[in-house]
């Protein structure tokens, strides 16, 4: 990873999901010399795109009771799995956030490229007509 590169994270909204997220962030800090030096720097670069408490409420997602077999006896915790959002909604959430992070809207870039291609094609056609090949 590049130094200071932003990470967009998607994970379950539950106790284990939070632990997996924290472990993932620690692993990046420990094994990527070029990303972040410590947890404070990493926290500024790390963003949970889904699943958040707000999304659970907004979309009325089902809360399930999920076993955590790491405990003896097994303990159950409330959980909302990312899959409850559905693939389309997950893609929309990630795409929306990526679009927000773009320095310029993609539609503007594509339109500018289209216009530039037309201008270049016209200029090249003019050179061919004059014989300046």
pLDDT tens-digit readout, 65-106: 999 888 889 999 999 999 999 999 999 999 999 989 988 888
* Domain co-membership, 51 together with 78: yes
Domain that holds residue 124: 105-133
Confidence of residue 133 (pLDDT cuts 50, 70, 90): low
Between CA 27 and CA 32 the distance in angstroms is: 8
- What SS3 class is residue 32? coil
* Domain co-membership, 119 together with 96: no
* Domain co-membership, 92 together with 40: yes
Q: Is residue 1 part of a domain?
A: no
* Domain co-membership, 59 together with 96: yes
Nearest-Å Rg of the Cα atoms of the chain is 23
- For residue 2, is pLDDT > 90? no
* Domain co-membership, 111 together with 95: no
Q: Is residue 91 part of a domain?
A: yes
- What SS3 class is residue 62? coil
Q: Is residue 20 part of a domain?
A: yes
* Domain co-membership, 63 together with 123: no
Q: Is residue 52 part of a domain?
A: yes
- How many domains does one find in the chain? 2
* CA-closest candidate to residue 19, choices 55, 66, 56, 84: 66
- Please give the pLDDT value at position 132: 61
* Domain co-membership, 92 together with 110: no
Q: Which residues contact 89 (CB under 8 A, 6 or more apart)?
A: 59
Confidence of residue 46 (pLDDT cuts 50, 70, 90): very high
Q: Is residue 19 part of a domain?
A: yes
């Amino acid at each position: 990873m590049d130094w200071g590169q932003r990470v967009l994270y998607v994970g379950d909204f539950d106790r284990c999901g939070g632990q997996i997220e924290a472990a993932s962030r620690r692993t990046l800090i420990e094994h990527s010399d070029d990303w972040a030096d410590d947890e404070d720097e990493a926290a500024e670069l790390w963003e949970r795109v889904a699943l958040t408490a707000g999304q659970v409420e907004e979309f009325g997602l089902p809360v399930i009771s999920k076993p955590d077999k790491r405990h003896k006896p097994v303990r159950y915790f409330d959980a909302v799995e990312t899959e409850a959002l559905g693939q389309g909604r997950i893609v929309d959430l990630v795409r929306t956030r990526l679009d927000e992070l773009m320095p310029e809207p993609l539609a503007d870039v594509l339109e500018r490229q289209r216009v530039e291609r037309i201008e270049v094609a016209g200029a090249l056609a003019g050179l061919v007509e004059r014989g300046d090949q």
